[in-house]
């Protein structure tokens, strides 16, 4: 399939596209990004790349990094992992305390903030230097040694991160956080501050299109079954309270971040990353979702 032609056609169609959304405002440092930025990068499993626009510019991947931390935890833990975090969609806004209290400190899934905090707690228990390990993991998957945290962003988020502090304290009260609260929050905010380009992002998660094998280094990262399960969790929980909408319109497993990035996987075919900072009210990139909808429509290639 000529993906470049399709991408070009999408670019053309979107020339008149008006996205009325706003750049994420709750993390001060993220507000400084140029709203009109737009990049796409698609890599097929045989390692061909297709791209558009600002696909080589770094941006804050934010929650997309939760797929990285989940993968790492899933490599280290057996199924007892799922006693501390569920795999069900949350059905409410992405940082709600209600459900967490109702379900006694067990977050619904690893992609809501509470669940990602539990995953951070697990990695801290398992690893000597989790921040360093996670960074090495991202660099290895992407083949890019320039991937790094952005301290300004993590600091900026920490200063307004009271809701996350509320969540973690609530979980601690239920015994579902084992390490020091400050240590876990620090790792969490750092994790979310990773910066990547669309190219790096697509490359990083290509192993999920290949049943767990990273083709760049030709290495199995995770078992077939676990790779499929990460995709399943992305499908059901990857878009805050809009997972249904994304499944409905795009039909691929994926994960978004409030930096305006989205990564999506067509198992057996490709991995694709999109970046456009203006978000809808659910916190997902408007233009990013539109690009992916057009992509699966034009290629008739959703998983359904």
Residues forming contacts to its own copies in the complex (CB under 8 A) are: 86-92, 96-99, 101-102, 108-109, 160, 162-163, 165-170, 172-173, 181, 224-225, 227-229, 231-233, 235-237, 241-245, 247-248, 251, 253, 267, 297, 300, 302-304
- Identify the CA nearest to 65 among candidates 168, 176, 162, 190: 190
Minimal distance, residue 233 CB to its own copies, in Å = 7
Shortest Cβ distance from residue 70 to its own copies (Å)? 12
User: What's the closest the beta carbon of residue 257 comes to its own copies, in angstroms?
Assistant: 20
Q: Which is nearer to its own copies, 55 or 227 (CB)?
A: 227
CB of 136 to its own copies, least distance (A): 27
User: 53 or 161, CB closer to its own copies?
Assistant: 161
Question: Token pair of 73, please?
Answer: 């935890």
Q: Please report the sign of the dihedral spanned by the C-alpha atoms of residue 137, residue 229, residue 239, residue 121.
A: negative
Chain position carrying tokens 């579902």 = 176
Min CB(231)–its own copies separation in Å: 4
Q: Largest alpha-carbon pair distance within the chain?
A: 54
Question: Residue 254 CA to chain centroid, in angstroms?
Answer: 7
CA dist., res. 288 & res. 255, Å (int): 11
Name the residue with tokens 């999408």: 10
Q: How far is the CB of 87 from its own copies (least distance, A)?
A: 4
Residue whose CB is less far from its own copies, 61 or 210: 210
How much helix, strand and coil, in percent to the nearest 5, is found in the chain?
Answer: 50, 15, 35
Q: Which is nearer to its own copies, 66 or 108 (CB)?
A: 108
If the CB atoms of residues 52 and 85 are measured against its own copies, the closer one turns out to be: 85
HSE-CB for 131 with a 13 A CA cutoff: 17
Indicate the residue among 58 and 228 with the shorter CB distance to its own copies: 228
Q: Are 41 and 201 in contact (CB under 8 A)?
A: yes
Contact 151, 98 (CB under 8 A): no
Which residue is associated with the tokens 């994420």?
Answer: 24
């Amino acid at each position: 399939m000529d993906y470049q032609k399709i991408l070009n056609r999408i670019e053309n169609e979107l020339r008149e596209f008006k996205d009325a959304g706003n750049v994420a405002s709750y993390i001060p440092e993220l507000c400084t990004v140029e709203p009109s930025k737009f990049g796409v990068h698609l890599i097929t499993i045989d390692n061909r790349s297709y791209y558009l626009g600002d696909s080589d510019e770094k941006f804050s991947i934010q929650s997309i990094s939760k797929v990285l931390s989940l993968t790492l935890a899933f490599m280290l833990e057996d199924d007892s992992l799922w006693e501390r975090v569920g795999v069900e969609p949350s059905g409410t806004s992405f940082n709600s305390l209600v459900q967490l209290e109702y379900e006694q400190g067990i977050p619904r899934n690893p992609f809501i903030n509470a669940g990602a905090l539990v995953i951070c707690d697990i990695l801290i228990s398992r690893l000597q230097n989790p921040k360093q390990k996670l960074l090495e993991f991202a660099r290895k998957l992407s083949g890019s040694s320039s991937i790094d945290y952005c301290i300004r962003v993590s600091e900026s988020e920490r200063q307004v991160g009271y809701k996350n502090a509320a969540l973690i304290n609530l979980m601690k009260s239920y015994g579902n956080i084992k390490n020091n609260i400050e240590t876990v929050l620090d790792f969490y905010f750092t994790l979310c501050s990773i910066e990547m380009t669309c190219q790096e992002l697509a490359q990083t998660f290509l192993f999920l299109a290949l049943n767990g094998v990273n083709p760049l280094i030709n290495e199995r990262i995770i078992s077939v079954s676990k790779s499929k399960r990460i995709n399943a969790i992305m499908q059901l929980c990857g878009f805050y309270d809009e997972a249904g909408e994304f499944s409905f319109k795009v039909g691929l497993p994926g994960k978004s971040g409030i930096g305006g990035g989205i990564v999506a996987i067509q198992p057996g075919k490709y991995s694709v990353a999109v970046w456009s900072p203006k978000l809808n009210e659910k916190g997902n990139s408007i233009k990013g979702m539109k690009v992916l909808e057009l992509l699966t429509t034009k290629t008739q290639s959703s998983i359904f």
